[in-house]
Amino acid sequence: MKKKLLTFMLTLGLWVVFAGRMNIQVMMFGTIICSILSHLLANSVFRFVHLNGGPKQIVIKITYMFFVFSAFLYDVFLSAVKVSRQAFAWNPSFSPRIVKLKTSDENSSDIGIFAHFLTCTQGALALDFDPLHKNYVIHWIDVDSDAEAETRKALIRKQEHLVAKIFHSEG
Amino acid sequence: MIDFLPILRQIVVYVFFLTGSYFLLSTAVGMIRFPDLYTRLHASAKCLMAGGISILMGCIVLEGIGFVSLKLIILLLFLLITNPIANHVIACLDHSNTMTPNPISKNRS
Amino acid sequence: MVKKLYKLGLVVSLGMFLFVLFSDIHNLDRTSKNYLSEHYISEGVQETGAINLVTSVLYDYRAFDTLGEATVLLTAATILAFLVPVTKADMLGTTFTIIVYQATKYLIPFIAVLGVYVIMFGHLSPGGGFVGGVVMALIPILLSLTYGIDFSEYKLTPNTKKVVEDIGAIGFILLGLLAVLTGNNFLANGQAGFPLGNAGELISAGLIPYLNVMIGIKVGAGLAIIFNSLMKEQ
Amino acid sequence: MITPGLFYLIGALLLLLPIREKMTYILAILMTTAALMMTFYLVPGDRVQLEFLNYTLTPVKVDRISKLTGLIFTFGGLGSVIYCFRICSRANLRLIFIFIGSALTVAFSGDLFTLYVFWELMTISSSFLIIMASDGTKKTGYYYFLIQVAGGLSALWGVFLQYAATGDLALKTIEAGIPFFMIAVAIKLAFVGFHTWLPLAYGKAPFYVAVVLSIYTTKVGVYVMSRLLPGIDILAYAGLFSALFGIGMALLQTQVRRFLSYSIIIQVGYMIIGISMGTVAGITGAMFHLVNHILYKTVLFMAVGVVVYTTGKDDFENLGIMGRKLPVTSIATLVAFLGIAGVPFFNGYMSKAIIKDAVNEPLLTWGLNLMSFGTCLLFLKFIYYAFLKKSTISLDKQPALSMQVGMGLLTVMMLVIGIHPVWLESVTNMDVAIHYFDKKHLVSGIQPFLWSIAIFILIKKYVVKNYEAPLPYDLYRQIAKQVVTTGYQLSNYHDGKLTKYLLWTTSTLIILLALLLF
Amino acid sequence: MQAAIWLIILPLLTAFFIGISKVFYSYKLLFPLVTGSAILYLYLLISVIDHSYPPKVYSVGDWGLLGINIMVDPFSGLLLLMIALLFLPVIVFSLKYITFHTHNYFILTYIMTAGIAGMVLTADLFNLYVFLEVSSLSSCALVALKKTNKAIEGTFKYLVMSTLGSFFILLATILTYDLTGTLNMAEISVAFQDIPFQIKSILMAFFIFGYAIKIGLIPLHAWLPDSYEESPIPYNVLSSGLVMKSAVYALIRVLYILFGFDFLDETGMLQIGVVWGVVTFLIAHLLAFQQSNVIRLLAYSSIAQIAYITIGLFVGTERGLIGGNFHILNHAIMKGTLFFVIAIFHYSLTAVDIKDLKGLGFRFPLLSFTFVVASLAIVGLPPFNGFISKWLIVEAALDAGFIYAAFSILVGTFLSLTYYLKVIVTLYTKTDKTIEMKEPGLALKLPTIFLGSLCIVFGIAPSLPLSLIDKIPTFLLDHEEYISILLGG
Amino acid sequence: MELPFVVVTILFCLGIYTIITQKNLIKIVLGFTIVESSLILIFVLVSYQPGGTAPILDKAYHLVVDPIPQALALTSIVIGGSVTAVMLALVIKIQKRYRTLNVDKLRKLKG
Amino acid sequence: MVVLYVILAIVLSACLTFYRVMKGPSVSDRIVAMHAIGVMFLLVLVLLSYFFARKIFIDVALVYGVFLFVDIVIMAKYLRKPEQGGVRD
Ligand code: NA
Ligand code: NA
């Protein structure tokens, strides 16, 4: 029921934004349509998301999310600057390598979301995911030494933990 | 008294547009200049993303508060979700095609 | 070699004829006003209640064309449905990772709302039944792409899609026949007394939104059939 | 008033009913007799008019010539139907009825449209008679049908030209498109060069079909020629040439029916000459000759039919069955022989006399004499094999009674006309003012016959010899082969390659554009 | 005139309902749905044909000249008459004959018929294109129905060619709109009077090219026999009877109404059309003779017959139009009969090659007789219907000075006899082979004999259809009348 | 204003050229889509008016383009798409059956 | 006016990126480039709605974005090398 409600809220929000207006007609249609949609889709969308916290926890989470999101945006720009510098460099040099990174996440939502973090930030690229061994296959664009790779990996693990914290409830 | 806010807003918009154009151009240059697929994917994943975000942010600021901005935010979120996926999908295609670490990546140019 | 040259000559001469035609048309001194489009632009909103004139042409002035076009799409879907073999199997393709699965999951409600919005607001903003239907069709298409045809057809069986498509087409005709019930011509809208409402509102333009919905349903189902059929192989 | 042909056509329809065999005979006799009676009581000058499409058609128009033709057609119909109804199938009888009915309708048609329609109907029904007869006649039927339709189409083209020139479809002497009518008639008449179908059809078809065909096919041609193309001088010489060619070819035949077929060409020569004179006497003579010819040639075909029926073959040798075991047939054959030879007091004599009288060109007169002589010579061969030569052929089965009745009927009529030729004139009100049995005619009639006997005795071994029939050169087959080869080449271009088809398509577009712009 | 719109809606509704009934009721509902609808359709057709003179206009959506109009005049009445004569027999025949993809067959057949009815009725240029596509695409689908290799190949060729044609029609349609600012045929026709010659000629060439592909004039014909060969034979009845004819109809409509007779005369299109027709049927006859497959033979024969129709319609006189239109009707009937008979042979003993027909004349006497009648009719021998229409065409051609065309038609008649006779002779050749065969029921025989008897009836009493056809030239040769009615409606 | 027409002409002819010269079935289908797009482009050109925008008459417009060709274009796109889909389905089918994409190998029907 | 310059800049980058589409060398390269161009055009669409002052175009951009994504997914799924089951030339 919670999932349905959440889906309903989200879709209704989308609907209102799309409609670009708030009036009785839009809300009426929106209610009908979004309830149908949430009825149909809720279970498949939020299959692995557990929503067992009170409203307070949700508020905290959302604040948390906002911070992470900002940091994420910042990271995106940072890595973009790195890459674009390479693009305009007179003599661009790369030291690419492909590594496997084991993840501790059990939740597929987290795995999916973390792939975004991997790809958008860090100069990394999520190439593949091996569901059997829970290995990300990652492509790094500028890693010179093994030591640097290890520090990077550590960084990634840290972030992974962070992501898991937001989306995966501890209960 | 000079209305300070619009000018500030104008400046912010300019800055966003400028960074956006820069990142998009660097995407294009990266696309041309980068030596192999994966590095090009980096250009596509990061510079393009940043460029897109910048331009859309610029538009949002230009627009101000309203439904249109919300729409643009949704578009931004959408790009944020789909762009990495798209890149991943392409990478995945190539990765599963070759099944071996890319030999080109050993070379330094 | 001679054959290739001959073909090239043919095409070049065709191009010359076309160019002559176009430049003739371009140089034509056209003083007379194009009364039809003038009328549509100046009166269209009042007459049909839709502020998107393309929609008002598609679903009111020339709604009959739309019926024919929907039929073409239905025919294509029918052909593809029977051309593919009964045994189902995915066409060989890259299998995606869990990362894609997750993204698809979150995208589906987004696409659904977008599709419904495009369909429902067809008379107010760019879009309409066709585009919206295509957007809706992306849902089963994405399902097929990421989870495979079997899953997609388990969620939405081909028979369901076929029935939905037929219902959309029948609905379109029945809406057109509503006007006949009131003693007017087929597909009449404002003339048959359907309230056109205030132009620009969601509930306005008489039958047009409902026609849009029907076409949306039909196109969505039809395209899904077409796509899934093209993906299958023996 | 209706055309007598309608009786036959209705009869064909009635034959569709599932009636018993006896009823079939009764029906056949009833209908044929009714047609005969009807024709007899037709009054020259009667006509029926009908609105069809934008034309006023005259499906029935009676005058003396058509009445004469109609009489002999219906009489021949009676005889031949009686002759064959026991031995042919119901379906074939139906076709025969349609065939005779159409021929009769042609004879009474008053406009070119009706003429053409029933002309083609004759073609169709006779072709199917040949095609359906047996597996051996398929190719013959195919050939026959095509040739006849070619003739018909030629006539149709003539009709169109005539209509375009005169705005009238009435049946009268043709003004425009004469060559096309000539071709049409020539094919029907089996004129030399257009004769290829005749020996094939009559030689291969079942004997009863040959009997029926021989009565009408060529004779309708003669009738139509008398209507549409009278008085064209050059045709007289052509007719003579055709007849002489017929004599030569007939001499070389080993099959009796083929032999009789070529002899038709000779006899038709007489009629052509008569019609080409363009005078009343000439045309009347030709029409009388048509009557006589129908009588004796039918009887001869019937007799040969009996031979085929009883012995299974129609080689000259098989004729030997006559004389001893087939009395009626033998008598009929003799009468017919004397008739065809033009011996006085037999029927051929009168019409030949009229035609000779009408001709005043010395060359033609000589030609006629030569033709008479040739005919006699040829038929002496026939008689020789039938009655004089020793034969060991044995009878397989007795001829049907109906066959003999049909044959007898015609034989009696031959004798009547032969002995009292004026009767024929009086029946049809066609007085040619000629004393048939005065000295001049008697002498000129008997002379060729006597000469031929003398010559026959002199060169008997050359005449009665069974020649190796030469392989006929057939121009039409050669042309057809060329056409089929062209088709084959064209078909080869359609090799299934879509690119090729698309190329044709685009080329067409450019050509079309060019044509329309410049 | 409400009935006119039903002519398009009813088949569509039926098709959609068949689609639904397939899922929920399988075969239970098919028979009543299909036959009931076909009978109702026949009733509607007759009532519309009855009111086709004087012409009437029906404005879809009540928009008048602002929207799409459909119009019934004698010319469309003739095409509707053909649907009336062919559709119910084909449906009855197919119910027994079609044993594969039955639902799809009927869905597509109904959609195709709706498309043809739409093409015939519409007075709007773009609407014409839309319905043309409806009918061509469904027609393609029917060709592919058997899904054999040949069927797929034939469909592909058909689709490629037909789409190529459609492109040019669409191109011409767009440009026509650009030039005139309207899509209503009457308004276009009025506006076209001021358009320069050169533009109009090129546009006309595009229209002609596009439709000629669908008509199958040589050398644009290659798809036609290929698409016929492996398609379900009852579909061929509709294809040669209605699909090709509707393309002819559309072409004539466009040429005579949009461009007008005077323009056709001026550009020499009449001459081109007649010559094209002559070339087409001469070659088609030669090709037909080469075929060993009866269906291909009949397909080539269709091409030839369409060429006769083309000549009749391009002669440019009243008589020519009457003759051409009568031949349109007659060809539908004759070819329908022939295809039906072959379909029965195919149904009973899967015979499609000429040599397979050996001896069937004795096994199926009545059907073979029907075949003979229809083939003699199509050859153009009296006293059957084909003869009358050919007579009219030849007369008109002579009248208008096309002597070579008139003469060639007679030559063509002879050529066509050569191959039809080949088939007939084979039918009546005895054979010792004993073959297993299915007994064709009344459902197969009745439609065949119905059409076959029409060959005779229309031959003996041509005034029956001609009373309708005689009124056609009024609205084609002088398009002013058509235009004024359409503008007034 | 001549340039768009030149482009359209070139595009159209390119499509036709592809159709008639290419042997690969997929490429032929591509040729069809090229021609189709050129036709859509003509629609756009026909409806174009200097300074005009999309014919949606909300508050913010001053000059709009002709809506009719736009509607017709939409119709043509759908029809063209349907046809292309059917063509592709047939191509797939042919590939399965004939094991080739060469159009010249499609020669079961001839004569 | 600044919007126009931005649009021009984006179009320029799109044109530059098109070089990669033409050059390849692998299918994946082309797809990446196509995707980049697609995103650029999406941005152009958004900016055009400002240029023409018609906000409704943003809807178009949204729909286009969805299509773009699905397109890339389809291409990635089926455009593979022949030896791995892709469509042969
Ligand atoms: Na309406
Ligand atoms: Na439409």
pLDDT in tens, D65-95: 899 899 999 999 999 999 888 888 888 999 9
Q: Which ligand is nearest to the CA of C172?
A: 1
Average pLDDT score over chain E: 93
Closest by CA to B81, choosing from C103, E316, E402, A72, is: C103
Interchain contact, G65 vs B75, CB within 8 Å:
yes
pLDDT the model gives residue C169: 95
Question: Is residue C116 exposed (0-12), middle (13-18) or buried (19+ Cβ within 10 Å)?
Answer: buried
Q: How far is D195 from chain E (nearest CA, A)?
A: 19
pLDDT the model gives residue E206: 96
ipTM: 0.92
Interchain contact, B82 vs C107, CB within 8 Å:
yes
Task: Tell me the CA–centroid distance for residue E70 and ligand 1, in Å.
Answer: 14
Same domain flag for D36 and D158 = yes
Q: What is the pLDDT averaged over residues C64-90?
A: 84
Distance spanning both ends of chain D, measured CA to CA? 61
Collapsed DSSP state (helix, strand, coil) of residue D502: helix
Interchain contact, A37 vs C101, CB within 8 Å:
no
G69 touches chain A (CB under 8 A): no
pLDDT-based confidence at residue A34 (cuts at 50, 70, 90) = very high
Closest by CA to B51, choosing from B14, B16, B10, B9, is: B16
Question: Which H or E run contains E68?
Answer: none
What is the CATH number assigned to the segment(s) F2-108?
1.10.287.3510
pLDDT at D118 over 60: yes
Average pLDDT score over chain D: 89
Q: How many other CB atoms are found less than 10 A from the CB of residue E181?
A: 21
Q: Report which residue type is found at B106.
A: K
CA distance E1 to E55: 10
3-state DSSP helix/strand/coil % of chain E, to nearest 5: 80, 5, 15
Closest Cβ–Cβ partner in E144, E166, E174 for F46: E174
Q: Which ligand is nearest to the CA of C122?
A: 2
Q: Vertex G16, ends G12 and G20: CA angle to 5°?
A: 155
Average pLDDT score over chain A: 80
Spatial neighbors of C56 by CB under 8 A, at least 6 apart, are: C40, C44, C45, C47, C48, C49, C50, C123, C205, C208, F67
**Residues in chain A closer than 8 A to C109 (CB atoms):** 7, 10-11, 14, 37-38, 41, 45
Query: Angle between the C98-120 and G57-78 helix axes, to the nearest 10 degrees?
Result: 140
Q: Which ligand is nearest to the CA of C175?
A: 1
By C-alpha distance, the chain F residue nearest D487 is F111
Q: For residues C77 and C182, is the Cβ–Cβ distance under 8 A? A: no
pLDDT-based confidence at residue D128 (cuts at 50, 70, 90) = very high
Task: Tell me the CA–centroid distance for residue F42 and ligand 1, in Å.
Answer: 26
Chain A to chain B Cβ contacts (< 8 Å): 121
Closest by CA to C210, choosing from C193, C194, C192, is: C194
Distance spanning both ends of chain B, measured CA to CA? 57
Q: What is the pLDDT of residues F2-18, one digit of tens each?
A: 788 899 999 999 999 99
Q: For residues D130 and D140, is the Cβ–Cβ distance under 8 A? A: yes
B72 touches chain G (CB under 8 A): yes
Q: Report which residue type is found at D395.
A: L
pLDDT the model gives residue A69: 82
pLDDT-based confidence at residue B51 (cuts at 50, 70, 90) = very high
pLDDT-based confidence at residue D492 (cuts at 50, 70, 90) = very high
Of D185-199, D295-309, E346-360, F21-35, which one has max mean pLDDT? F21-35
Interchain contact, F110 vs D496, CB within 8 Å:
yes
E65 touches chain F (CB under 8 A): no
Q: Which ligand is nearest to the CA of C184?
A: 1
pLDDT-based confidence at residue B103 (cuts at 50, 70, 90) = very low
Q: Which ligand is nearest to the CA of F75?
A: 2
C107 touches chain B (CB under 8 A): yes
CA atoms within 13 Å, Cβ hemisphere of F28: 25
Residue carrying structure tokens 């890259």: C94
Instruction: Give me the residues of D, 467-506, that contact C with CB < 8 A.
Output: 503, 506
CA distance E139 to E245: 13
Q: What is the pLDDT of residues E362-410, one digit of tens each?
A: 889 999 999 999 999 999 998 899 999 999 999 999 999 999 999 999 9
Task: Tell me the CA–centroid distance for residue F66 and ligand 1, in Å.
Answer: 19
Question: What is the signed CA dihedral for E372, E376, E377, E382, rounded to 10 degrees?
Answer: -120
**Domain region containing G41:** 2-84
Of D83-92, D191-200, D212-221, E451-460, which one has max mean pLDDT? E451-460
Q: What is the pLDDT of residues E430-462, one digit of tens each?
A: 888 777 788 888 999 999 999 999 999 999 999
pLDDT the model gives residue A100: 82
C76 touches chain E (CB under 8 A): yes
**Residues in chain C closer than 8 A to D506 (CB atoms):** 7, 10-11, 14
pLDDT the model gives residue A170: 44
Contact residues of F toward C, CB < 8 A = 1-2, 5-6, 8-10, 12-13, 16-17, 20-21, 54-58, 64, 66-68, 70-72, 74-75, 78-79, 81-83, 85-86, 88-90, 92-93, 96
CA distance C79 to F82: 10
Q: How far is G82 from chain B (nearest CA, A)?
A: 10
Interchain contact, F110 vs D495, CB within 8 Å:
yes
Closest Cβ–Cβ partner in B78, B85, B93 for C99: B85
Spatial neighbors of B46 by CB under 8 A, at least 6 apart, are: A76, A79, A80, A82, A83, A120, A123
Interchain contact, G56 vs F56, CB within 8 Å:
yes
| β-sheet bridge partners, residue A136 | A101, A129
D50 touches chain E (CB under 8 A): no
CA distance G26 to G16: 18
Same domain flag for D320 and D460 = yes
| β-sheet bridge partners, residue A124 | A140
Q: Where are the domains of chain E?
A: 3-488
pLDDT the model gives residue D19: 87
Q: Report which residue type is found at C88.
A: K
**Residues in chain A closer than 8 A to B51 (CB atoms):** 80
By C-alpha distance, the chain F residue nearest E151 is F109
State both tokens at C231: 């993906």
Chain B to chain C Cβ contacts (< 8 Å): 22
C199 touches chain A (CB under 8 A): no
Q: Which ligand is nearest to the CA of C178?
A: 1
pLDDT the model gives residue D133: 83
G89 domain-assigned: no
**Residues in chain A closer than 8 A to C117 (CB atoms):** 15, 18-19
Same domain flag for D147 and D63 = yes
Interchain contact, E152 vs F97, CB within 8 Å:
yes
**Residues in chain F closer than 8 A to D497 (CB atoms):** 103-104, 106-107
In this predicted model, which residue has the larger pLDDT, D124 or E437?
D124
Contacts 24+ apart (CB under 8 A), D356-364: D356/D444, D357/D281, D357/D285, D357/D434, D357/D441, D358/D274, D358/D277, D358/D279, D358/D281, D358/D282, D358/D285, D359/D236, D359/D273, D359/D277, D359/D282, D361/D236, D363/D237, D364/D236, D364/D237, D364/D240, D364/D273
Exposure string for A123-162, b = 16+ CB within 10 A, e = fewer: bbbbbbbeeeeeebbbbbbbbeeeeebeebeeebeebbee
Interchain contact, C22 vs F85, CB within 8 Å:
no
Residue carrying structure tokens 């197919």: E94
**Domain region containing D510:** 476-517
pLDDT-based confidence at residue A47 (cuts at 50, 70, 90) = low
Q: What is the pLDDT of residues G50-72, one digit of tens each?
A: 888 888 889 999 999 999 999 99
Closest by CA to C71, choosing from C172, C161, C163, is: C172
E331 touches chain F (CB under 8 A): no
Residue carrying structure tokens 């698409």: E227
Q: What is the pLDDT of residues E85-135, one digit of tens each?
A: 999 999 999 999 999 889 999 999 999 999 999 999 999 999 999 999 999
Interchain contact, B95 vs A127, CB within 8 Å:
yes
Q: How many other CB atoms are found less than 10 A from the CB of residue C221?
A: 29
Q: What is the pLDDT of residues E141-200, one digit of tens each?
A: 999 999 999 999 999 999 999 999 999 999 999 999 999 999 999 999 999 988 999 999
pLDDT at B99 over 50: no
Collapsed DSSP state (helix, strand, coil) of residue D393: coil
State both tokens at D352: 């030949």
Closest Cβ–Cβ partner in C114, C118, C145 for G74: C145
